[in-house]
Amino acid sequence: MTLGFTLVGIEVGWAFVRKTEPLLSIERLTKRYGDLVAVRDLSLEIAPGEIFAMLGPNGAGKTTLIGCVTGLIQHFDGTVRVAGYDVRRDYQVTRQVVGVVPQELNFDAFCSTRQILIYQGGYFGRRRACERADELLRIFGLSEKASANSRWLSGGMKRRLMICKALMHQPALLFLDEPTAGVDVELRDELWAYVRRLREEGVTVFLTTHYLEEAEQLADRIGILNQGRLILVDRRDRLLNRFGTRWLTVTCDRKLPKPLKDRLAPFQVTFPGPDCLRVRYRGARDPERVPVVEQVLAAVRDAGMQVRSLEGGRSSLEEIFRNIVKRDNHPDAGAVVEPEGGYVR
Amino acid sequence: MCGEGVVKVDAPQTGAVAPGVHADAARCRVDALVARARRERGVYGCVILFRRELDRFLRYSAQTIVSPALTTLLWFLVFGYSLGERLQEIKGIPYVDFLVPGLVMMALIINTFLNSGFSFFISKIHGTVVDLMVTPLTPLQIIAGYTGASVVRGIAVGGVIWAVAILMGASTLHQVGITVAFLLLTCMSFALFGLIVGILARDFDHINFIPNFLIMPFTFLGGVFYSIDMLPGPWDTVSRFNPILYMVNGLRYGMTGVSDVPVGLGLAIVTVSVLLCLGIAWWLLATGRKLRE
């Protein structure tokens, strides 16, 4: 009885450890190229099953970071573990777990599209690679090009083939380095749908992108890398709420009188047109949001005016990202870029 | 506003990792992959790389086997039958018999070098080397895949030349063991050398420079067409510093029983070349120098 309890206890304890164990663990990673520090003292953990988007301007160190995890870069300071295994010491295990879609398009001029996939699966020890290759070719719409030399594929098709290659051994942690660079909208949407499907199948996805909409659509968490430093990591929704602004544009039936404008002065209100005002507030969870909106609308009613239309909006991740990076590059800069665009919800 | 909320993260918030939505499925997948890695150890992958390289040169066999074999046979016809009429015998054997081992060695040296060197270099140029570098293959397994296929190509080209020479009644076989040893070790040596050059080369000039300005002159001066005993001093002595001389004469001894240099020394030199090239290739792949970064 005691023994049984102990064993159960161990099992429960082990399950707890496993549940909290990150799939990717990076501790104090620093990568230098001569005097240039490409990645500086970076620590990060990725949980199994999540989609993580790493944002950053050109040269921020995103690709270098991926290189350190996937084995393309061997010399760095710090520790990188995948599923608890060191990427340099136990690379045969970690590379089996990881799949990577590089940023640069590549092609194998000597083999057919299908043959490339079969060989790529074989390098990872995958038997019956033909079936898997045919399945991926079908999913990514390349079946008709199965016998074609990859040299003659279009850019979008080459990108798809690269994704197929990375998926041949069914990795658990997939790195997508700018996956939709240079692809059309249709393929982009297909790819996003497939990434979501991969997540349902248990694939953890780490993507870097310039297209912030991509991160906004896909990611559970978002990291921002700037000049090799990880300046921010947060859940997507929290990031949008924490750093984003929302606004409500109120269009009235006539020109706004000066007394009304004076009354609205204590609030963050701007006047985009003579008959129009825009009130801003922080994220959806801003406790001040409802009272502010109510008070602004009450002031409009008290001025004897009628509301012709209401339009809500919020700052996009792109604006948030721009602001954060700008603040990081110029810490003393007081003003931040005022959100202008964004999409209406 | 946005800027007010920006937090400088000196110690990034790594602790806030919540398990993903599909964490259980993810963990199952990881366990299966770790088990596969433990089981495979890259052995099957190495075989696949070898097959891929084999497939690559067999797909273009007209260029990779027939063409070099044909070129070498032209050498054989021109030198063996036109010049051979005048030279008659060298070291007591007909000149045509004397010539065959040299031509076989010359063909396999160039072909093994080009096979691994060109294939690896092209994979760098086309960017597909990344697909190989992220696999679980060890540096030795990558070397084995490339070198193994190159050796097969070298033996295939050399074999075609030898077979035609036999059909024309121009070749002999003195010692099988020595012949096979020199064939294999020389093929391995130049396959590894080609791989090293393929790893280090930055453009097509680099990959063409070595065969045109290094291998070909050294091969021609390595006693392919003549015995160094025929050279005036000090060139006969200078020739002894050419490692290819020992490879050519090693094979010549195996096939005809005559050699300008001690066969044991030749065997030692070709073995050292294999080990030296193997060490350099392993170091380049293991460190990722000129390759991964």
**Interval B6-26: pLDDT, tens:** 333 333 444 345 555 567 777
**Which of the residue ranges B41-55, B134-148, B206-220 would you say has the lowest mean pLDDT?**
B206-220
**Which of the residue ranges A256-270, A301-315, B231-245 would you say has the lowest mean pLDDT?**
B231-245
**Which of the residue ranges A169-178, B125-134, B168-177 would you say has the lowest mean pLDDT?**
B168-177
Please list every residue in chain B whose beta carbon sits closer than 8 Å to the beta carbon of residue A17: none
Mean pLDDT of chain A, nearest integer: 80
Q: How many CB pairs under 8 A join A and B?
A: 234
B273 pLDDT band, cuts 50/70/90, is very high
Question: What does the pLDDT read at residue A318?
Answer: 67
Tokens of A345: 């919800």
* Closest to B249 measured CA to CA, from B241, B237, B259, B257: B259
Please list every residue in chain B whose beta carbon sits closer than 8 Å to the beta carbon of residue A223: 12
Is a pLDDT exceeding 80 seen at residue B120? yes
When pLDDT is averaged across residues B263-275 and rounded to a whole number, the result is 93
Length of chain A: 345
Give, to the nearest 10 degrees, the angle between helix B67-75 and helix B95-125. Answer: 150
Nearest chain A alpha carbon to B119: A110
When pLDDT is averaged across residues B100-124 and rounded to a whole number, the result is 91
Is a pLDDT exceeding 50 seen at residue A9? no
- Best mutation target, B8, B10, B14, B58, to test chain A (most A CBs within 10 A): B14
Residue with the bigger pLDDT between A85 and B174: it is A85
Contacts by residues B88-95 (CB-CB < 8 Å, ≥ 24 positions apart): B90/B226, B90/B227, B90/B230, B90/B258, B91/B227, B91/B229, B91/B258, B92/B258, B93/B172, B93/B256, B93/B257, B93/B258, B94/B170
* Closest to B84 measured CA to CA, from B92, B75, B94: B94
Asked if A202 is an interface residue toward chain B (Cβ–Cβ < 8 A), one would say yes
When pLDDT is averaged across residues B81-105 and rounded to a whole number, the result is 78
When pLDDT is averaged across residues B105-127 and rounded to a whole number, the result is 91
Rounded to a whole number, what is the distance in Å from the CA of A55 to chain B's nearest CA? 15
**Which of the residue ranges A98-107, B18-27, B278-287 would you say has the lowest mean pLDDT?**
B18-27
Residue A44 to residue B14, Cβ atoms within 8 A: yes
H or E element at residue B60: none
Instruction: Report the share of chain A in percent with pLDDT over 70.
Output: 84
Domain A245-314: give its CATH superfamily. Alpha-L RNA-binding motif (3.30.70.1560)
Is a pLDDT exceeding 90 seen at residue B145? yes
Greatest mean pLDDT range, A73-82, B140-149, B257-266: B140-149
When pLDDT is averaged across residues A135-148 and rounded to a whole number, the result is 87
What is the CATH topology of the domain spanning A22-240? Rossmann fold (3.40.50)
Collapsing DSSP states into helix, strand and coil, what is residue B92? coil
Residues A285-341: tens digit of each pLDDT: 555 556 778 888 888 888 888 888 888 877 666 677 777 777 777 665 543 333 333
Every domain range in chain A assigned CATH 3.30.70.1560: 245-314
**Which of the residue ranges A63-67, A115-119, A242-246, B134-138 would you say has the lowest mean pLDDT?**
A242-246
Residue with the bigger pLDDT between B222 and B200: it is B200
- How far, rounded to the nearest angstrom, does the alpha carbon of residue A167 sit from its chain's CA centroid? 19
Please list every residue in chain B whose beta carbon sits closer than 8 Å to the beta carbon of residue A93: 34, 37-38, 136
Amino acid at position A128, single letter: R
What CA–CA distance (Å, rounded) separates A258 from B127? 65
Q: Are A264 and A333 in contact (CB under 8 A)?
A: no
Q: In Å, what is the CA distance from B120 to each residue of A10, A338, B162, B180, B193? A: 50, 52, 28, 27, 12
Residue with the bigger pLDDT between B64 and A161: it is A161
Please list every residue in chain B whose beta carbon sits closer than 8 Å to the beta carbon of residue A50: 18-21, 23
When pLDDT is averaged across residues B211-224 and rounded to a whole number, the result is 85
Residues A187-212: tens digit of each pLDDT: 888 888 888 888 888 889 999 887 77
CB contacts under 8 A, A 229-258 vs B, are: 230-235, 242-245
Asked if B74 is an interface residue toward chain A (Cβ–Cβ < 8 A), one would say no
Is a pLDDT exceeding 50 seen at residue B121? yes
When pLDDT is averaged across residues A125-151 and rounded to a whole number, the result is 86
Is a pLDDT exceeding 70 seen at residue A90? yes
Burial of residue A11 (number of CB atoms within 10 Å: 0-12, 13-18, 19+): exposed
Question: What does the pLDDT read at residue B182?
Answer: 94
A3 pLDDT band, cuts 50/70/90, is very low
Concatenated DSSP letters of B135-179: SS--HHHHHHHHHHHHHHHHHHHHHHHHHHHHHTT----S-HHHH
B146 pLDDT band, cuts 50/70/90, is very high
Question: What does the pLDDT read at residue B199?
Answer: 93
What CA–CA distance (Å, rounded) separates A208 from A223? 9
Question: What does the pLDDT read at residue B292?
Answer: 59
Paired sense of beta strands A173-177 and A204-209, if any: parallel
What CA–CA distance (Å, rounded) separates B28 from B34? 10
Residue with the bigger pLDDT between B87 and A80: it is A80
Every domain range in chain A assigned CATH 3.40.50.300: 22-240
Neighbours of A176 (CB within 10 A): 27
Is a pLDDT exceeding 60 seen at residue A10? no
Question: What does the pLDDT read at residue B94?
Answer: 81
Q: Are A44 and A208 in contact (CB under 8 A)?
A: no
Residue A48 to residue B26, Cβ atoms within 8 A: yes
H or E element at residue A152: none
Rounded to a whole number, what is the distance in Å from the CA of A202 to chain B's nearest CA? 4
ipTM of the prediction greater than 0.85, yes or no? no
Q: In Å, what is the CA distance from A293 to each residue of A171, A254, A297, A343? A: 49, 20, 6, 20
Q: Are B119 and B198 in contact (CB under 8 A)?
A: yes
Question: What does the pLDDT read at residue B7?
Answer: 36
Is a pLDDT exceeding 90 seen at residue B153? yes
When pLDDT is averaged across residues B221-247 and rounded to a whole number, the result is 80
Nearest chain A alpha carbon to B56: A110
When pLDDT is averaged across residues B161-166 and rounded to a whole number, the result is 84
